């Protein structure tokens, strides 16, 4: 069976972002990387937990994204936490900049994946959740889990 050319391979996902923020708008961005970083990503060594997006002088950068050094990279390895430029259109950067200027909004990375042979990063304009919002989400998940458990038990008999 032939491989799907448009298939995406997930490298890392920021699950904490969905817990801490309301996701408003999402964008797909390319990342400017060095060769050994790509090899490390192919091995799945990436962490998005403490990362965020910053806009400086008309360009978007991802800060705090940890890509572990490639084990066979020697002198070619770069700092694992260095800021990496995102490849976005100027209109998208302008939209992101205006969205962040509003109170309580930020830009967070959601996931890193390979699309064809390119490394892509999904980013989102997000609004921070309050503690009571998080409690509400947890209660909804518990209700859904309980309902599914009851449904499963009823259908067994």
Task: Provide the residue-wise pLDDT of the chain in tens; the chain has 157 residues.
Answer: 456 656 688 998 998 888 888 899 999 999 998 888 888 888 888 999 889 999 999 999 999 999 888 888 777 777 888 899 999 999 999 999 999 988 888 999 999 999 988 999 999 999 988 877 778 778 888 888 888 888 777 776 6
Distance CA 109, CA 57 (A): 20
Whether the full predicted model's pTM is greater than 0.85, yes or no, is no
Measured over all CA atoms, what is the biggest interatomic distance in the chain, rounded to whole angstroms?
64
Say what the pLDDT of residue 55 is: 93
Q: Which residue has the tokens 């302008």?
A: 94
Say what the pLDDT of residue 154 is: 73
Say what the pLDDT of residue 122 is: 94
Say what the pLDDT of residue 1 is: 47
CB atoms within 10 A of CB 35: 11
Per-position b or e across 120-134, b if 16+ CB within 10 A of its CB: bbbbbbbeebeeeee
Task: Yes or no: say if 30 and 87 are a contact pair by the CB < 8 Å rule.
Answer: yes
Say what the pLDDT of residue 4 is: 62
């Amino acid at each position: 069976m032939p491989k799907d050319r448009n298939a995406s391979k997930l490298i890392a996902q920021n699950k904490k972002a969905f817990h801490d923020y309301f996701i408003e708008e999402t964008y797909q961005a390319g990342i400017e990387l060095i060769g050994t970083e790509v090899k490390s990503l192919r091995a799945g060594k990436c962490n998005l937990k403490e990362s965020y997006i910053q806009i400086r002088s008309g360009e978007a950068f991802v800060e705090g994204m940890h890509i572990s050094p490639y084990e066979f990279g020697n002198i070619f390895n770069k700092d694992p936490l260095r800021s990496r430029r995102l490849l976005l259109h100027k209109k998208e950067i302008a939209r992101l900049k205006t969205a962040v200027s509003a109170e309580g909004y930020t830009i967070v990375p959601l996931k890193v994946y390979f699309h064809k042979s390119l490394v892509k990063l999904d980013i989102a304009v997000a609004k921070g959740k309050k503690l009571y919002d998080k409690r509400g989400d947890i209660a909804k998940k518990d209700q859904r889990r309980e309902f599914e458990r009851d449904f499963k038990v009823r259908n067994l008999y």
